[in-house]
Structure 1
Amino acid sequence: MSNASTNAPAPQTPDGAPETSVRLVIGSVAVLMLLAALDQTIVSTALPTIVADLGGLDHLSWVVTAYILASTVVAPLYGKLGDTFGRRNVVFFSVSLFLIGSALCGMATSMLFLILARALQGLGGGGLFVLALSIIGDVIAPKDRGKIQGVFAGVFGLSSVAGPLLGGWFVDVFTWHWIFYINLPFGLLALAGFAYGFKPTGKRERAKIDLFGALTLSITLASVVLLTSLAGTQFPWSAPQSLGLMALFATALALFLIAETRAADPILPLALFKMNTFWVTSVISFISGAMMFGALTFIPVYLQLAKGASATASGLQLIPMTFGILSASTISGRFMTATGKYRRLPIIGLTLASLGLLSLTRLSADLPSWQLWASLVAVGAGMGTIFPVVTTAVQNAAPREMLGTATAAGLMFRQVGGSIAVALFGALFATRLAASMGGIDIPGLGNVAELGPQRLAALPAEAQAVLAQSVSTALRPVYAIATALAVTGLFFAFLLEEIPLESRITPHKPAPA
C-alpha cells in the first residue's frame, strides 16, 4: 500500500482509503464487537427461563462458560491468522461462525445443543474482539487511534451493563430465542458495511502456522479458564478434577514455552515480552480485567441481597460505572490524539480505580446510594482511562507484521484476568458469607448461586437484616483484594515507557531482537 498524497482532494487514511470508508469500517466493526461483547453477558438474566424450557439445570453454568472459554482460547490464533493472511477474510470467517452459532443457539431444543452452539458462537466471537481492535491499526494512524480505541472501550463497558438488561427485556417481551436471533440482522448489516469499506489489498503470505504452539496455548488457556470457572462450584479445589486441570495447565504452559522458542513463525512470539510496552501493558490488562469483572459481578449481588433490589434495578444501578467508562475513554482518546502521549493516563486511571475500589470496602446494608454511585463512577473512569491506552500503546510499539498478535495477547490477558478474578472472588465471598452468618441455619445461604431477591423476600425480617449485613461484610475482602490489585497495577504503570504516537502508519518496524 502506498501512503496518501498530502494534496489529495478528500481526507485520506495513511493507507490511502477515503475517510468515509474508514468511518464505515469503524462503525461496522464497532457493531460486530458490541454483538460479541453482549453475548458474554446477555444470557445471564435469561438462564432461569432457558432452564425451565430446555431442562438441564446441572449444566447451567456451561451456557456461559462455553462462550467465554471458546472466545478466550481462539483469540491468539485469530491475531496470528490476521497478521499472516490479512484481516478481511479472517473477519468474514469469524463473523460467519458467530452468526451460524447464534442461529443454532436460537434453534436449540436441548441444553446440550445450546452449549455446543454457544461454543461455536464463542469461536467466532473471540475473533471479533481481536480483529476489531487490530483493524484500527490497519486504517488509523497511531496518534489518532486513541479516539477510536476510546469508543471501543466504551462499547465494551456498555455491553457489560446492557447485556443483562437486554436479556431480561427479550425474555419479558418476546422469548429467550431472540437473545440470539437478534444478532443475525445486525451482524449481516455490519458485515456488509465492513466488506464495502475495507478493501482487499491483494497481498497474500504463505506461512507455516505454528500448530503445536497454537494447540499448547489453547490447552493452557482452556485449563485455566475451566479451573477457575468450575473449581469451587462444580467440584472442590482439592478434588481430582481440580488437581488434574492444574497439572494440565502447568504441562501445557511448559510445552508452549518450549515450542515458541523453536518455532520458525511462533503463534505468540516470546520476543514481544522483551518490549517494555508489551509486557507492562499485558500486566495492566490482566489486572484491569480482574478489577472490572470483579466489580461488575458482585455489585448486583450486593444490591439484590443487601438492598433488596430487583435484578433489573440492580442492573440499572451499574449505569454510573458505564458513564465513567464512556466519559473517561472519550477524554483519554482525545488526549492521546492531541498530545501523542499516553504514559500518564494509566497512572491516572489506576489511581481512580484504586480510590473507587477502596471506597467499596466500606459496603454496608445502609450505604447511601450516592456513595455507591460515586464509587462506581471512579472505578468506571479508571477503567475507561486504561482500556484505550493499553491497546494503542502496544500497537504503536509492536512491529506492523505482529500488530494482530500483540493486540490479541492484550485481550487474552484481560479475559483470563477477569475469569480468574470472578472465580476466586466468588469462592472468597461464599466462604466469608457462610462464616459471617454466625451459625444461623437458613438452608441454601452457603451457596451463592442459589441466593436471590425472591429467597430474601421470603425470609423473616430478622433474617433479612442478618443476611444484608453478612453480604456486605463478606464482600469487603473482595474489594480489598481488588484495591490491592489496582495499586499493584499502578506500580507497573510507572514502569511503562512512552513511545510518541506517530501521525501516520509505519509499514514496518524492526522486530524485537
Structure 2
Amino acid sequence: MEHLSHKRKLTIMIAIMAAMFFSAINQTIVGTALPRIIAKLGGMDYYTWVVTIYMLTSTIATILVGKLSDIYGRKPFILTGIVFFMIGAFLCGFSTDIFQLIIYRGIQGIGAGIIMATAFTAVGDLFAPRERGKWTGVMTAVFGFSSVIGPALGGYIVDHMEWHWVFWIFLPLGIVAFFMILTLFPKVDRKESESIDYFGSLFLTLTIVPLLLAFSWAGTKYDWGSQQIILLFVWAAVALAIFLFIQTKVKSPVLPLTLFKNGIVTISNIIGFIMNAGMMGALIYLPFFVQGVMGVSPTYSGYVTMPMSIAMVLTSAIVGQLISKKGKYKRFALIGLPIMFAGMIIMCYMHSIWMAVVSMIVFGLGLGMGMPVFSLTIQNAVPHKELGVVTASMQLFRNLGGTIGIAVMGTIMSSTLASNLKEAAASGKGVDVSKLDPQMAEQLSAFHNPQLLLDQPKLAEIQSSMPAEMQSIFTQMVDMLRDALSSSLSTVFFDGAMFLLVALILTFFLKEIPLRTSNRMPGSDASGQAGEGDQASNAQKALVEQPAK
C-alpha cells in the first residue's frame, strides 16, 4: 500500500484511527466506572478477572490474526474485530452478575486484540519506518485522548446514569468506524502460496490459556504450590514444547522462531513484556486509591487521572515528530523509562489528591516518550513480508506482560491487604466486634470488606442510618480500612516501579539501527520481496551499515 497517494493514505489513517478510538474509549471509560460496577454487581474477589479475561482473549486474538493478516490482508480482520467488540460491549450492558460481565468482556477482548494487531500493522503497510515515527506518535495520542475523556465520562455516567450506558454510549461510533473501514480501506489479494498453521495456532492457544489462568488463580483462588496451579503450569509447558516443535516443521508458522534470532526483536519484546507487567499491574489499582482511600467520586476520579493522559498525548505527538525527523529512537526510551519509574515511586508515597495528580503528570510524560519506541524498533528490523507477525509478537508479549502483571499484583494486593487488616486488628486500631452487643456487631462486621469503600453513596447511606453511639466506631472502622488499603497499594506501586527499572536496564542493551526511508529491505528485488537468504538477522546487519538519512 506504500504506492497509494498521500491523500488516500490520510483517509485510510482516519478510518484506522476511528476504529482505534472506538476500541480505546470503550476501554478507558470502563476504568473509573469499574469499581462502582463491581460494587453494584458484587464479586470483589473477581475484580481482576474483568480485566484479565479481556487481556487473555485479546492476547490470543492478536497473535492468531498477525499471521493471517499477512496472508489475507488487514481489512477483513479489522472489520471482524469491530463486530466482535460491539457485540461484547452490547452484552456487557446487560450483565446481571460478575460472571456474565467477565464472559462478555472476553468477547470484547477478542475484538480489541484483532483491532489493535491490524491497526498497527496497517501503518507499517502504508508508511516506511522513517515516516512511522510521527504516525505512531499520532496513534499513541489517540489512545491518550481517549484516556483524557474516557475516565471522566465513565465516572459521570455511574454517578448520574445507569452503569449500563458505560458500555453502550459509544456503540454508534463503532458503526461509523465499521463503514469507514469498509469503504476506505483497500482490499489485498490473498497470497496463494501461503498455508495456515492450524496446529500451531491451537497449541499456542493451549499454552497461553493455562499459563494466564495459573497466574490469575495463584495466591487468590489457590495457593501457589497447590495441585491445580502446578498442573496448569505443567499443561502450559507441555503445550509450549509441542508448539515449538510444530513451528520448526511447518511451511508457514504462526509465530516464526527465526524472528527471535534477531536480537532487536527479542530484546524489544522482553522489554515490552516487563514494562507492561509493571505498568498495567500497578495502574489498574489507581482508582482504588482515588476512590477507596481518598473517598473521591468516580466522576472526579476521572479528573485525577486526566493529567496523565494529557501529558502522554502531548509528549507522544512531539516525540513522534522528532523520531521521524532525526531517525533516532533509543534515546527517547532511555529518557522516558526513568521518568515513568519516578512517577510510580511518587505513587508509592502519595497521601493526597495533589500528589496523585503530580505522579500522573510525571508518569504520563515518561509514557508518551518511551512507549511508542518499541513498536518502531521491531518493525524496522524485519522484512515487510513479516510485518504482521512481528507486530503481533510485540502485542503478544505486551499483553502477556500486562495480564501476568495484573494477576501477580492482584495476588500482592490481596495478601498484603489481608495482612494489614490483621495487623490493624491486633494492634488495637480496629474494632473488636465480639465485645459489642450482637445487633451492633452484625452491623459492623460488614466493614471488614474494603469493597464498601468503592461505593460512597452506599457508605453514606449506612452511616446516616446508624445511631449516634455507633458513629465514632463506624468512622474508626472506615479509617482502619482506608489505612490498610493505602498501605497495600503502596506495595503494589513499588513492585510496579521495580519492573520498570528492569525494563530500563535492558534498554541499554537494545541495538539501534537507522530507520529506513522505504519499506524495502536492503538486498530486496524490485517488488519489495526479500531475496533468497535475506533473513531478518542479515537485514539487521545491512541496516547497521546503512547511514542515517
Q: CA deviation at 1:431?
A: 2.2
Conserved in 1, the CA contact under 8 Å of 2:29 and 2:151?
yes
* Counterparts of 2:382 and 2:446, CA distance in 1: 51
| SS of 1:460 mapped into structure 2 | helix
| SS of 1:358 mapped into structure 2 | helix
Conserved in 1, the CA contact under 8 Å of 2:35 and 2:454?
no
Match of 2:469?
none
Match of 2:414?
430
Match of 1:99?
86
Match of 1:511?
535
Structure 1, unaligned runs of 5 or more: 2-14
Match of 1:26?
13
Greater CA deviation, 482-491 or 55-64? 55-64
Shift in CA distance, 107/203, structure 1 to aligned 2, threshold 3 Å: same
Conserved in 2, the CA contact under 8 Å of 1:79 and 1:404?
yes
Task: Find out whether 1:133 has 2:110 as its counterpart.
Answer: no
Amino acid at match of 2:499: L
Match for 1:412 among 383, 396, 399? 396
Shift in CA distance, 372/126, structure 1 to aligned 2, threshold 3 Å: same
Q: CA deviation at 1:101?
A: 3.7
CA deviations over 1:444-471 (Å, ceiling 9, x no partner): 6776555425387656344444444333
Question: CA RMSD for the aligned pairs?
Answer: 3.0
CA deviations over 1:67-99 (Å, ceiling 9, x no partner): 332111111011111111111222223223333
Shift in CA distance, 31/301, structure 1 to aligned 2, threshold 3 Å: same
Match of 1:200?
187
* Counterparts of 1:127 and 1:328, CA distance in 2: 27
* Counterparts of 1:80 and 1:47, CA distance in 2: 37
Shift in CA distance, 466/94, structure 1 to aligned 2, threshold 3 Å: closer
Greater CA deviation, 32-41 or 420-429? 32-41
Match of 1:152?
139
CA deviations over 1:105-151 (Å, ceiling 9, x no partner): 45667876665444333222210011111000011121111111112
Conserved in 2, the CA contact under 8 Å of 1:395 and 1:407?
yes
In the TM superposition, what are the counterparts of 1:333-482 in structure 2 within 5 Å?
333-363=320-350, 365=351, 367=352, 369-437=353-421, 438-440=423-425, 441=430, 443=445, 449=451, 451-452=453-454, 454=456, 458=463, 460-482=474-496
Conserved in 2, the CA contact under 8 Å of 1:99 and 1:183?
no
| SS of 2:387 mapped into structure 1 | helix
CA deviations over 1:139-167 (Å, ceiling 9, x no partner): 11211111111122233345456544433
In the TM superposition, what are the counterparts of 1:218-297 in structure 2 within 5 Å?
218-297=205-284
Task: Find out whether 1:502 has 2:489 as its counterpart.
Answer: no
* Counterparts of 2:163 and 2:222, CA distance in 1: 29
Conserved in 1, the CA contact under 8 Å of 2:155 and 2:300?
no
Q: CA deviation at 1:169?
A: 3.7
Greater CA deviation, 314-323 or 99-108? 99-108
Match for 2:497 among 478, 483, 488? 483
Conserved in 2, the CA contact under 8 Å of 1:40 and 1:67?
no
Greater CA deviation, 184-193 or 143-152? 184-193
Task: Find out whether 1:217 has 2:175 as its counterpart.
Answer: no
| SS of 1:308 mapped into structure 2 | coil
Conserved in 2, the CA contact under 8 Å of 1:430 and 1:448?
no
CA deviations over 1:482-511 (Å, ceiling 9, x no partner): 222222111111111112112222234532
Q: Percent same amino acid among aligned pairs?
A: 34
Q: CA deviation at 1:337?
A: 0.8
Match of 2:540?
none
Greater CA deviation, 247-256 or 124-133? 247-256
Conserved in 2, the CA contact under 8 Å of 1:71 and 1:127?
yes
Shift in CA distance, 231/316, structure 1 to aligned 2, threshold 3 Å: farther
Q: How many residues were matched structurally?
A: 496
* Counterparts of 2:226 and 2:3, CA distance in 1: 58
TM (norm. structure 1) is 0.87
Match of 1:142?
129
* Counterparts of 2:97 and 2:242, CA distance in 1: 37
Structure whose alpha-carbon radius of gyration is higher? 2
* Counterparts of 1:373 and 1:65, CA distance in 2: 26
Amino acid at match of 2:58: S
Greater CA deviation, 330-339 or 461-470? 461-470
Shift in CA distance, 89/430, structure 1 to aligned 2, threshold 3 Å: closer
Conserved in 2, the CA contact under 8 Å of 1:34 and 1:155?
yes
Conserved in 1, the CA contact under 8 Å of 2:348 and 2:491?
yes
Q: CA deviation at 1:512?
A: 2.8
Structure 2, unaligned runs of 5 or more: 432-444, 464-472, 521-527, 538-549
Shift in CA distance, 71/502, structure 1 to aligned 2, threshold 3 Å: same
